[in-house]
Amino acid sequence: MAKLLQDSCNQDAIFSKFSHSSPANGGNGTHSYSNNSSYQRLFANVERDKIDQEIAHNFEIQKLSSSSPSNTLVLADMGCATGPNTFGTMQHIVNSMKRTFQSVCPTSPLPEFQVFFNDQTTNDFNTLFQSMPEDRDYFAAGVAGSFHRRLFPTSSVQFMHSSYAVHWLSRIPEEVLDEQSPAWNKGKIHYLGATETVAAAYSAQYAKDMGNFLRARAEELVEGGIMVIITSGNPDGVSAAGLPSGLLYNLLASTLMDMSKEGLVSEAEVDSFNLPIYITCPAEMRQLVEENGHFSIERMELTAPTTWIEGAVDTREWIDHIRAAMEGIFTNHFGNDPNIIDQIFERVTHKLEPYNEEVNSKLHEKVQLFVVLKRI
């Protein structure tokens, strides 16, 4: 036990030194995640029927609930932010489990449900708890800490969910920030559109992070437990540079360079700024899961998350969503002078406007990876 606690403290020290620790914007204000996250909600909702199918046909609900002494099923949402998306998703999963349970064992009492909401310690958990639906039919608790490490006791969770969270890297790869390294990413803020060396450094960091994530979840999930991951994805062997996110990151880089020429931010600050975001592909995810060895891959597919969009995406609304999810990365690096931060997002909105048609022509690309893993 002492060793476990010591390891956990060492991990805390390591994570606090390097973690990007920039949660989605808290509160309920203009730039809050709670008011600017309908895209992520609608993206994830595209997968709801598939989640229902997995619960109905793949989740051994009777066995899993009866093996718990209190007839309780434990669920967790990893990287939940402040809501409301997490509430809709977790209630949907609970409802789906109840339906399945009633059809499998109609005469048995329903299990109780406990839902853990996880995010980084700096997440606005006050807003999360204050906005929690009163009519929920599960017990709720928050779990603060990085999902790249252990967060739950051994074999204590039956169902894990994570949407639009595991694409966040725990840190920017060291070599990308090192002026002496061939992977130094001067003039860019991401691997998309950068050199292959930079892309390789990001990919290696993602492998470390997903390795840690899968190792921790493998210990926490019971045998037969299911984990659903929804994340940004890209077809095997195709670069995401030509997709709207690639365009956005390039225009953000050119915005920052404009601002450094005008003396609003320093060139050194721009050179050392990179986005800790990684877009995986099915082959890479498969390899990482196989290396872990504790999960069977029940489903892994790319889907088009924007089938619900009728007409065109509005550039300002898109950037408002990006800002609500990413602003912390910018304030951590450039400081929280609202003038500078407002200018970054205002300028990039203007830079993107001429590309509106191009962005909209790519809306129905398959850029969402849906993964269902089962603990074996």
Query: Among residues 25, 36, 65, 86, which is the contact residue for ligand SAM, using CB under 6 A?
Result: 86
Of 241-300, binders to ligand SAM (CB under 6 A) are none
- Give the residues across from 73 on adjacent strands: 113
How many CB atoms neighbour CB 354 within 10 A?
A: 9
Please report how close the Cβ of residue 304 comes to ligand SAM at its closest, in angstroms.
17
Question: Which CB sits closer to ligand SAM, 259 or 371?
Answer: 371
- Residue 276's identity, in one-letter code, is P
Considering only the stretches 37-45, 251-259, 288-296, 348-356, report the one whose residues sit in contact with ligand SAM under the rule CB under 6 A: 37-45
CA-wise closest residue to 279 among 258, 302, 309: 302
Of 127-186, binders to ligand SAM (CB under 6 A) are 146-148, 163-165, 168, 170
Q: In three state form, how does the secondary structure of 223-275 look?
A: EEEEEEEEEEECCCCCCHHHCHHHHHHHHHHHHHHHHHHCCCCCHHHHHCCCC
Please report how close the Cβ of residue 70 comes to ligand SAM at its closest, in angstroms.
27
Residue 24 interacts with ligand SAM (CB under 6 A): yes or no: yes
Tell me the C-alpha to C-alpha distance, in Å, between residue 322 and each of 35, 46, 47, 343: 12, 20, 21, 14
Residue 205 interacts with ligand SAM (CB under 6 A): yes or no: no
Residue 79 interacts with ligand SAM (CB under 6 A): yes or no: yes
Cα-Cα end-to-end distance for the chain: 26
Residue 371 interacts with ligand SAM (CB under 6 A): yes or no: no
Question: Which CB sits closer to ligand SAM, 166 or 240?
Answer: 166
Please check whether residue 87 is in contact with residue 133, taking contact to mean a CB–CB distance below 8 angstroms: yes
Cα atoms in the 13 Å half-sphere on the side-chain side of 103: 9
Burial class (CB in 10 A: 0-12, 13-18, 19+), 130: exposed
CA-wise closest residue to 370 among 214, 230, 235: 230
Question: Which CB sits closer to ligand SAM, 133 or 187?
Answer: 133
Please check whether residue 76 is in contact with residue 143, taking contact to mean a CB–CB distance below 8 angstroms: yes
Question: Which CB sits closer to ligand SAM, 101 or 191?
Answer: 191
Residue 329 interacts with ligand SAM (CB under 6 A): yes or no: no
Question: Which CB sits closer to ligand SAM, 40 or 114?
Answer: 40
Please report how close the Cβ of residue 42 comes to ligand SAM at its closest, in angstroms.
10
Of 97-126, binders to ligand SAM (CB under 6 A) are 118-120, 123
Residue with smallest beta-carbon separation from ligand SAM: 79
Residue 76 interacts with ligand SAM (CB under 6 A): yes or no: no
Residue numbers of the site for ligand SAM (CB under 6 A)?
A: 23-24, 37, 40, 44, 79-81, 85-86, 118-120, 123, 146-148, 163-165, 168, 170, 325
